[in-house]
Structure formats: structure tokens, C-alpha cells
Structure 1
């Protein structure tokens, strides 16, 4: 399974925002500097996370972003499903595509489909809070006070 950078960066934004205390605001520039990611690209991701109601964006001079709900209510499996738009791991998963000659008798698609479900079963077991259980160590690594 290969997640897009977009999803990876989206999870990083959530992790960063989740480590701020008392709903303290963070900004795209901070996240960009910590992870060495383009501010422009992060802006698109933040916009999407806001549309998904995972973060809140506050405009203005002292604006920024923060989680829209507690970290323990943000399920990682759901976030990945929302940010990824293509789980067609094999050509035969795609609707409207010319299919492989062995498709009617092939079991590979079933094996891969089971693996995909297992992947999400594991992700569904975790919340954002679970991913920041070592908060102090992560804060030190990211230079957060």
C-alpha cells in the first residue's frame, strides 16, 4: 500500500496541531518549516482538512489552525479514506476498464482486496491521540515548546 504524499502531509498537519495545548493555534508556516513542505501545498491540504471538519481555520493577523475536535475522536482509518481517492490496487478493481483475460478465474483480486481490508482494519484501531502518546518526544523532535 502506498499512500499519497498528500495524505502523509495531512496526517502530519493533524499530528502537529494535535500536540498544541489548550487549542493553541498553529500556522502553515510553522508546519512547513518543521517538515520542510511547501507552504502552498500545505495550504491545499489545510483547506481540505477544514472541509472535512478535522481542523478549524481562523483568519486574520493572529489566525491559524487547530483541531476541530478532540484528538481521541479523529480516527486514522477514516482520515486516510477521506484523503485518498484511489484504492484501485489492480486494474481489475477499476470500473469501466478493459479487464484481464484471466479475471473470471483469478483469485489475486480477492487476496489483494482482503489485504486492503486488513490494512484499514489496523488503521481503524487508532486515533490521533494514539499517535501522539509520546507527545514530549515528538515535541522535542519538532522543536515545539
Structure 2
């Protein structure tokens, strides 16, 4: 299983904001991780729309967590950011055109695997991902 770049960037952004107080620009976060500012901008908009971050425009603006990191469930974030129905065609009832779906066991097997994956992620919060905050901060280059 592979998460989309958007989900990867969303989790990294939330982790960065959890260990760094105050507002931080998209450019700063992108630079710290060596990732695309343009891609991160789209992710930040989605995180703000979903209520994970507060976004403030202007000179002293940027992003900051909208709620405590210990209340942000990783499984929930992945469910919001990922389109799990398109993992394979047969999992999406609206677009499924596979002719063997009614007799095939693949759909059941994959659906169970995806659910187990998400249940496992439900056991973690953003705070859990950055348990050693000092080590996490040290790995990012100084601002």
C-alpha cells in the first residue's frame, strides 16, 4: 500500500507544526522538508478546510495547528486525505466496471486489508509520531 504525496505532506506538515510553536509559512515548511511548495500549498488548503490547521495571511501569518496534536488521529487524517475507494476499481461501487466482481474474492480480501491498515493507524495520534520532539527538531535544518 502506498499513500499519496498529499497524505504524506499532510502528515509531515502536522508533525512539523506540532514541534514548532507559532505560525510557519508554507515556504518554510517546504524548505525544511525539501518538498514542493506548490504541492504543499494545496495540502495546506485542504488541512485548513478540514480544520486541522489555522491559516493566517500576512507578514506574520502562516500555518499553526488548530487543535492539540494529541487529539489528531492519524487514521482519521489518512481517511480524509486518501480516496480509499479507488485503491482498486472494484472497491468503488460507482466506478466499478469489472465483470467478475460478483464472483471474485479480491474485493473482499483487499477491503479487509485496507480496513486493517486504517484500524492500525487509528491507534496513533500526531503526538505519537513526534514522541521525541527534540530529536525531531534537530533533524530539521535551523530556520
TM-score between both structures, scaled by the size of structure 2: 0.91
Deviations 1:20-41 (A, max 9, x none): 13xx111111111111112122
Which segment is superposed worse, 71-80 or 28-37? 28-37
Superposition misfits of 4+ residues, deviation over 4 angstroms: none
Equivalent in 57, 78, 81 of residue 80 of structure 1: 78
Q: Describe the shift of the 1:144–1:86 C-alpha distance in structure 2 as closer, same or farther (beyond 3 A).
A: same
Separation in 2 of the partners of 1:135 and 1:124? 21
Q: What's the counterpart of residue 2 of structure 2? A: 2
Q: Does the 8 Å CA contact 1:92/1:100 hold for their aligned counterparts? A: no
Task: State whether structure 2 residue 4 is matched by structure 1 residue 14.
Answer: no
Question: Which runs of 5 or more residues in structure 2 are unaligned?
Answer: none
TM-score between both structures, scaled by the size of structure 1: 0.90
Q: Does the 8 Å CA contact 1:77/1:126 hold for their aligned counterparts? A: yes
Q: Does the 8 Å CA contact 1:72/1:129 hold for their aligned counterparts? A: yes
Q: What's the counterpart of residue 49 of structure 1? A: 47
Separation in 2 of the partners of 1:86 and 1:118? 13
| SS of the residue 2:85 aligns to | coil
Q: Does the 8 Å CA contact 2:89/2:95 hold for their aligned counterparts? A: no
- The number of residues matched between the two structures is 142
Report how far residue 64 of structure 1 moved.
1.2
Q: Describe the shift of the 1:55–1:36 C-alpha distance in structure 2 as closer, same or farther (beyond 3 A).
A: same
Q: What's the counterpart of residue 36 of structure 2? A: 38
Separation in 2 of the partners of 1:76 and 1:117? 14
Equivalent in 23, 26, 44 of residue 25 of structure 1: 23
